[in-house]
């Protein structure tokens, strides 16, 4: 992905500017018309600086996707660590959805490059990584066994399902159809309850987190 990782602070800042420019141009031109030269111009760096990090635009988009996934995980972790965050897996799953929605609505370039480059095969592979990342992220907080094969499959099915439904929500409404978002949350609660009630804190009797509750709501 990266030809070489930045070592000095100045180099890291330059890489961040390149990825920021890439994200902005994705919104303006789309992936097909994205070019390393245009990114260099927008970032205010020589074209050689772009090629120092990336051999082509695909590698650049992959690095942006990796940054997005890291940012997504950080946002979820920060929300879950907040003193006012309700306990239980249902509230945690609402955070997972809500932070994705916030990034989809507000983060430059995220509409085209979420956690992988815009290609069906890569998107399917990315969902495996997203599911594993979410399971490991939530395992300690919820008392789950991240190595459990059944849980890994359940999280993958949950991610694939939510991905398909939320893509539909944004095709229906530019900011995400609220009715489809609500149905997505309800579907995930109903499906994951088979695996997480009793295995994680805040099961069906968890109060703030009950099956009829809406958890954290939309951002």
| Position 206 in a domain | no
Q: How confident is the model at residue 118 (pLDDT cuts 50, 70, 90)?
A: confident
| Position 214 in a domain | no
Region of residue 30 (left: phi > 0; alpha: psi -120 to 50; beta: else): left
β-strand partners of 197: 200
Least confident of 101-105, 119-123, 194-198: 119-123
- Asked if residue 212 has pLDDT above 60, the reply is no
* pTM of the entire predicted model: 0.86
Give the CATH number, domain containing residue 78. 1.10.357.10
- Listing DSSP states for 22-55 in one string gives HHHHHHHH-STT--HHHHHHHHTS-HHHHHHH-S
| Position 204 in a domain | no
Give the CATH number, domain containing residue 46. 1.10.10.60
Distance between CA atoms of 212 and 11, rounded to whole angstroms?
A: 50
Long-range CB pairs of 101-107 (<8 Å, 24+ gap) are: 101/166, 101/176, 101/181, 101/218, 101/219, 102/75, 102/219, 103/68, 103/71, 103/72, 103/75, 104/166, 104/170, 104/176, 105/175, 105/176, 105/219, 107/23, 107/68, 107/71
Instruction: Tell which wins on pLDDT, 8 or 214.
Output: 8
Instruction: Note whether 41 and 78 are same-domain residues.
Output: no
pLDDT at 120 (0 to 100) = 61
Note down the domain range covering 82. 61-196
- Indicate the number of domains in the chain: 2
pLDDT at 125 (0 to 100) = 84
Over the chain, what is the mean pLDDT?
89
pLDDT at 121 (0 to 100) = 64
Give the best-scoring range by mean pLDDT among 34-48, 121-135, 198-212: 34-48
Distance between CA atoms of 151 and 135, rounded to whole angstroms?
A: 8
- Asked if residue 211 has pLDDT above 60, the reply is no
Distance between CA atoms of 72 and 96, rounded to whole angstroms?
A: 9
pLDDT digits (tens, 9 = 90+) for 150-185: 999 999 999 999 999 999 999 999 999 999 999 999
Half-sphere exposure of 166 (CA within 13 A, CB side): 23
In this structure, the number of other CB atoms found within 10 A of the CB of residue 69 comes to 17
191 CB-near residues (< 8 Å, 6+ apart): 154, 157, 158, 161
- End residue of a domain, out of 55, 78, 98: 55
Residues recorded for the chain: 219
Two tokens at 132?
């594993």
């Amino acid at each position: 992905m990266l030809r070489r990782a930045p070592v000095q602070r100045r180099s890291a800042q330059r890489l961040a500017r390149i990825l920021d420019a890439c994200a902005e141009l994705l919104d303006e031109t789309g992936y097909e018309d994205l070019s390393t030269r245009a990114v260099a111009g927008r970032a205010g760096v020589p074209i050689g600086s772009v090629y120092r990090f990336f051999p082509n635009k695909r590698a650049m988009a992959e690095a942006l996707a990796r940054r997005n996934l890291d940012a997504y995980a950080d946002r979820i972790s920060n929300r879950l660590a907040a003193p006012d965050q309700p306990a239980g897996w249902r509230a945690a799953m609402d955070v997972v959805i809500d932070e994705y929605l916030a990034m989809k609505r507000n983060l430059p370039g995220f509409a085209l490059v979420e956690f992988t480059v815009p290609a069906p095969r890569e998107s399917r592979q990315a969902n495996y990584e997203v599911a594993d990342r979410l399971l490991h992220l939530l395992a300690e907080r919820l008392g789950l066994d991240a190595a459990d094969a059944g849980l890994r499959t359940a999280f993958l099915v949950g991610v694939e399902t939510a991905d398909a439904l939320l893509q539909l929500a944004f095709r229906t409404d530019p900011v995400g159809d609220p009715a489809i978002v609500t149905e997505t949350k309800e579907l995930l609660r109903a499906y994951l309850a088979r695996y997480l009630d009793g295995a994680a804190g805040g099961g069906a009797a968890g109060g703030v987190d009950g099956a009829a509750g809406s958890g954290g709501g939309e951002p």
